[in-house]
Chains A and B, each alone.
Chain A
């Protein structure tokens, strides 16, 4: 509990520093406040798998509005099953996969939401025709698959997804759960998937690379 408290405190402290430093830097045009949000139960179903071709419409998400969208262009990231794609780069060519219309990018950073405060633009990569920027498979990207006997898919702790959005802004994301209603002790045989619950911090000021 103490750790939780101190993390909360640190978050607020970091945000405070962020605000004050922004104020100091730029008096004339005040910057927009950094947004910290929680998204719960973003449903991202897929069909196929287990040897069959995978299909299904990706659930798209837009950081600027903080909501899901069905727009063909105004989206930053999209979910389907355990796959997360970005609106930047080239389609892998799977069934129902949307074409990329912008220059969004991503990298996976090791740390916590509080410890990652700067964007390293040199690390950004995009989806390609040989694989997604957020690599798939257990231990490669955002999750760890436990295998038998639990078969749980757990977001790997300490994996922070750092995004450049389609309009040159930045966001950091920590995925918390793959199961509906983010149960404290998920049961892979009972709890429904794929329901993404994640925390994100959105820096709405274009070109600003700190959170």
Chain B
């Protein structure tokens, strides 16, 4: 590992030296006047357009140019390079994003402000989102249920896609890389007077890769997927606009479970989004929005002689109408409020019923400048639900500007995640091993059935304990930060965060089966917290050079575990032959899959004369534990850890003539792999891309 870190240092040193050389030659011809970059605008934080720099909430924007320069293909590529974000492979095969130390199921993923569905095992696989038509990515950290309801516990990631722009233009992009990975995107855009149309097509395919050559299976099986997106805007007048968008995504992947079991898995997803906006006056405007999305998967496995071994399917539907209005009584204050309705159904194998969720909701937010220096945001949302307790989610945030250089900001919010369909209605028995998993609401009917079949040896948790409703997981999140602008070239930001999560849903054994296996079900148990510090800096010493750095310190712990360590109830042994000894409070490392330190450093350098831009991006993640290896069920310092690692990506892009761009790059330059523990890092990827636009 040290070797890897050494590489990291050496490489950056070389890079800086080469830059300073080119800088010296540059200075002679330098006549460029410094241009202050336009302040970026974010919509996710308040659902109104807001300047990022004056926002009282911790948020980041990943711009189109950052996406282009780093030649990312899928959403996980780019999110991994942001401070405090890491994509974590899920055992179900997907890749979810960890934010402020919270699991991927606690971050809401939106596209153009509307949620993606399809968390079949809790994680929403972000690698299914193509970068091709993204305008910018907005990340708001801290609970945001006051605006977005369920799932926005840790934060919100909103992917803003391109909308029709004036004129007729188009764009084609092709990237080919290692593992026969091909990514092709085409965009056509037309807008004249009232009508605007934009269409987008993406094809992404790969042969997959195999990290462990010893077994018969591939780590990632070959796949191909397509994304189609069309948007139409029509301006009835300068006050009324209609927006219609449709998206279709389909993926087909080989599904190889073993040498004798082979099949395929199919994924289909579509959504439609209709929005009618109307401005009544300077003060009032309203939006009517109708959103529908369906996420469907289908898997099968056949044995060698062609007989069907297993079939499974998953079919989720979400329909959401929403009306919202904004009211700006003065220049310095804005209200936004909305009411809406979520209708959700799921049809899935291993479910006791076809559940239906209905949930009306309403929210209101005030955003105002009380005086020149103080900005205050107050908001709250109420979610009613037919299957679980109603939720009231308030939030408050404030920012105080001491002067042009220094400001502080703080926010407190409530976030929740409703129990998902699986945690309520699952009824699954593993065909080969024989264990059973029951949803909370399935216990009362499934256990008597198992008992009648003589499969229950011993009931550990009485059925009466499942009479109350399963609570939503909820958290209170706090952020306190300061921004300091030393000069227009150099900025710093520090943010302290703490998330207190209650009623975390976990599984426990509720009965022993006569076959020696167990019956599991879900319950509210853990209280955990994540807390830490985030540091970000941007330095633009000259207009061609931008250096950004970020660091996150994280402590993510289970409160009950912490107490047990403190009380001396947890033990470990150093090797299998040595006696056990008592562990101390400081021996508790925390939750699984959390690194204490994460850092990134990115250098973007452009040479306008050559129409060339180049960058080097490094990300570091310190050691973390994936499971308990010494039998005390907790992660302590005597457990086996996954070593920390550094990944370095480099890219060079050059524009030819006016409309052609060629790119070359290497992701994971030093071919870092951990075949045992990290399934989503394939090793070094060399690629080239071509982009044509008119």
Q: Which residues of A approach B to under 8 Å, CB–CB?
A: 3-4, 7, 49-52, 54, 110-115, 130-131, 136-137, 139, 143-144, 146, 148-150, 152, 154-159, 174, 176-177, 179, 182-184, 186, 197, 199
Residues of B within 8 A of A3 (CB): 574, 581
CA of A13 to CA of B509, assembled, Å = 42
List residues of chain B with CB within 8 A of the CB of A112: 571, 579-582
In the assembled complex, which residues on chain B have CB atoms less than 8 Å from the CB atom of A148?
Answer: 91
- Could you say which of A7, A130, A157 contacts B631, with CB atoms under 8 Å apart? A157
B433 contacts across to A, CB distance below 8 A: 50
B593 CB → nearest A CB, Å: 14
4 closest A-B pairs by beta carbon, nearest first, are A158-B571, A154-B631, A51-B515, A157-B580
B582-638 at interface with A (beta carbon < 8 Å): 582, 627-633
What is the interface of chain B, defined by CB distance below 8 A to chain A? 91, 433-434, 458, 509, 512, 515-518, 569-582, 627-633
Q: Are A50 and B434 in contact (CB under 8 A)?
A: yes
What separation, in Å, do the CA atoms of A157 and B627 have in the docked complex? 16
**A21-B26 Cα distance, complex, nearest whole Å:** 87
A sample of 19 cross-chain residue pairs with beta-carbon separation below 8 angstroms, ordered by A number, consists of A7-B581, A51-B515, A54-B516, A110-B569, A110-B571, A112-B581, A113-B580, A114-B579, A131-B458, A146-B628, A154-B630, A158-B569, A158-B580, A158-B632, A176-B577, A182-B577, A186-B576, A197-B577, A199-B579
Q: Which of A51, A149, A150 contacts B434 (CB 8 A)?
A: A51
Residue contact B632 to A144, C-beta cutoff 8 Å: yes
Bound-state Cα–Cα, A77 to B91, Å: 40
User: Considering the chains assembled together, what is the distance between the CA atoms of A148 and B430 in angstroms?
Assistant: 14
Q: B residues within 8 A CB of A174?
A: 579-580
Asked if B518 and A137 sit within 8 Å, CB to CB, the answer is yes
9 A-B pairs besides A144-B631, A159-B571, A176-B573 with CB distance below 8 A are A4-B578, A111-B571, A112-B571, A113-B579, A137-B512, A156-B571, A157-B581, A158-B569, A158-B580
List of A residues within 8 angstroms of B581 by Cβ: 3, 7, 112, 157
B582→A115 contact, CB < 8 A: yes
Within 8 Å CB of B518, what residues of A?
137
CB nearest to A82 among chain B residues: B516
Closest to A153 in B: B631
Q: Which residues of B contact A154 (CB under 8 A)?
A: 629-631
In this complex, what residue of A is CB-closest to B640?
A185
Complex formed: what's the CA distance from A129 to B328 in Å? Answer: 75
Neighbouring B residues of A113 by C-beta, 8 Å: 579-580
Contact assessment for B631 and A143 in the assembled complex, using a CB-CB cutoff below 8 Å: yes
Tell me the bound Cα distance from A137 to B508 in angstroms: 12
Chain A residues with Cβ below 8 Å from B579 are 7, 112-114, 174, 176, 199
* Chain A contacts for B627, CB-based, 8 A: 146, 149-150
A144 to B630, CA, bound (A): 9
Interfacial chain B residues near A51, Cβ < 8 Å: 434, 515-517
B569 surroundings in chain A (CB, below 8 A): 110, 158
Q: Which residues of B contact A157 (CB under 8 A)?
A: 571-573, 580-581, 630-632
Determine the residue in chain A with the shortest Cβ distance to B631. A154
Let me know if A184 and B516 touch, CB within 8 A. no
Instruction: Report the minimum CB–CB distance from B97 to chain A (whole Å).
Output: 23
Q: Smallest distance from the beta carbon of B565 to chain A beta carbons, Å?
A: 12
Question: Complex: how many Å from CA A114 to CA B575?
Answer: 17
Q: In the complex, which residues of chain A have a beta carbon less than 8 angstroms from the beta carbon of B571?
A: 110-112, 156-159
B428 CB to nearest chain A CB (Å): 16
Say whether A150 contacts B582, CB under 8 Å. no
In the complex, what distance in Å separates the CA atom of A107 from the CA atom of B517? 24
CA–CA, A126 and B571, complex, Å: 26
How distant is the Cα of A174 from the Cα of B577 in the complex, in angstroms? 11
Q: For residue A4, which residues in chain B have a CB less than 8 angstroms away from its CB?
A: 574, 578
How far is A143 from B577 in the complex, measured between Cα atoms in Å? 15
Q: Give the residue of A7, A136, A182 whose beta carbon is less than 8 angstroms from that of B576.
A: A182
| Bound complex: CA A186 to CA B572 (Å) | 16
Q: How far is the CA of A187 from the CA of B577 in the complex (A)?
A: 15
User: How far is B571's CA from A114's CA once the two chains are assembled, in angstroms?
Assistant: 13
Establish whether residues B632 and A183, one from each chain, have CB atoms under 8 Å apart when the complex forms.
Answer: no
Identify the interface centre among B512, B579, B582: most chain A CB within 10 Å of its CB: B579
Known: A131-B458, A137-B518. A177 touches B577 (CB 8 A): yes
Residues of B within 8 A of A115 (CB): 582
Task: Kindly provide the distance from the CB of B442 to the nearest chain A CB, expressed in whole angstroms.
Answer: 22
- Taking CB atoms, residues of chain A closer than 8 Å to B434 are 50-51
CB distance from A189 to the nearest CB of B (A): 11
Instruction: Report how far A43 CA is from B138 CA in the complex, Å.
Output: 60
Bound-complex Cα distance A157 to B571 (A)? 5
Instruction: Name the A residues within 8 Å of B629 (CB-CB).
Output: 146, 150, 152, 154
CB nearest to B638 among chain A residues: A157
- A112–B581 alpha-carbon span in the complex (Å): 6
Which chain A residue lies CB-closest to B513?
A51
The reply to whether A144 and B628 form a contact with Cβ atoms under 8 Å apart is yes
A149 to B569, CA, bound (A): 27
* Smallest beta-carbon distance B344→chain A, Å: 31
Q: Are B515 and A50 in contact (CB under 8 A)?
A: yes
User: Residue of B at shortest CB range from A148?
Assistant: B91
Q: Please, how many angstroms separate the alpha-carbon atoms of A147 and B572 in the complex?
A: 19
CB neighbours (8 Å) of A7 from chain B are 578-579, 581
B516: chain A residues at CB < 8 Å are: 49-51, 54
Counting chain B CB atoms within 10 Å of each CB, which of A3, A114, A199 scores highest? A3
Cα distance A136–B580 in the bound complex, in angstroms: 21
With a CB–CB cut-off of 8 A, which chain A residues contact B517?
A: 51
In angstroms, how far is the closest chain B Cβ from the Cβ of A195? 12
Residues of A within 8 A of B572 (CB): 157-158
For A49, give the chain B residue with the smallest CB separation.
Answer: B516
Which B-chain residue is minimally distant from A137 (CB atoms)? B512
Q: Which of A146, A149, A184 contacts B577 (CB 8 A)?
A: A184
Query: Nearest-CB distance from B553 to chain A (Å)?
Result: 28
| Most chain B beta carbons < 10 A, residue from A158, A176, A199 | A158
Q: Which residue of B lies closest to A11 (CB)?
A: B579
Q: Shortest Cβ distance from A50 into chain B, in angstroms?
A: 7
Chain B contacts of A114 at CB under 8 A? 579
Which A residues are in CB contact (< 8 Å) with B570? 158
Q: Which residue of chain B is the closest to A53 with respect to CB atoms? A: B514
Residue contact B576 to A183, C-beta cutoff 8 Å: yes
| A167 to B72 CA separation, bound complex (whole angstroms) | 73
**CB-based contact B633/A139 at 8 Å:** yes
Given contacts A157-B630, A158-B571, A184-B575, whether A137 and B580 have CB atoms under 8 Å apart is no
Q: Which residues of B contact A186 (CB under 8 A)?
A: 576
Chain A contacts for B631, CB-based, 8 A: 143-144, 146, 154-157
Looking across the interface, which residue of chain A has its beta carbon closest to that of B575? Answer: A184
Q: Are B632 and A177 in contact, CB atoms less than 8 angstroms apart?
A: no
Distance between A93 CB and nearest chain B CB, rounded to angstroms: 12
Residues of B with C-beta under 8 A to A176:
573, 576-579
Least CB distance, A193 to chain B, in whole angstroms: 13
Q: How far is the CB of A134 from chain B (nearest CB, A)?
A: 15
Q: How far is the CA of A143 from the CA of B517 in the complex (A)?
A: 15
Nearest-CB residue, chain B, relative to A114 = B579
Query: Closest chain A residue to B579 by CB distance?
Result: A113
What's the minimum C-beta distance from A155 to chain B, rounded to whole angstroms?
Answer: 6
How far, in whole Å, are A4 and B464 apart by their CA atoms in the complex?
47
Closest residue of chain A to B626 (Cβ to Cβ) is A149
Inter-chain contacts of A111 with B (CB < 8 A): 571, 582
CA distance A31 to B574 in the complex (A): 35
Chain A nearest CB: distance from B536 CB in Å? Answer: 36
Of the residues B509, B577, B582, contact of A158 by C-beta under 8 Å: B582
Cα–Cα, bound, A176→B576 (Å) = 6
The residue of chain B having its C-beta at the shortest distance from the C-beta of A154 within the complex is B631
Give Cα A8 to B516, complex, Å: 38
B576 close to A177 (CB less than 8 A): yes
Nearest Cβ in chain A — how far from B3, in angstroms?
23
Residue of B nearest to A178 (CB): B576
**CB-based nearest B residue for A3:** B581
Please, which residues of chain B bring their CB within 8 A of the CB of A146?
627-629, 631
How many angstroms between the C-alpha atoms of A179 and B577 in the bound complex? 11
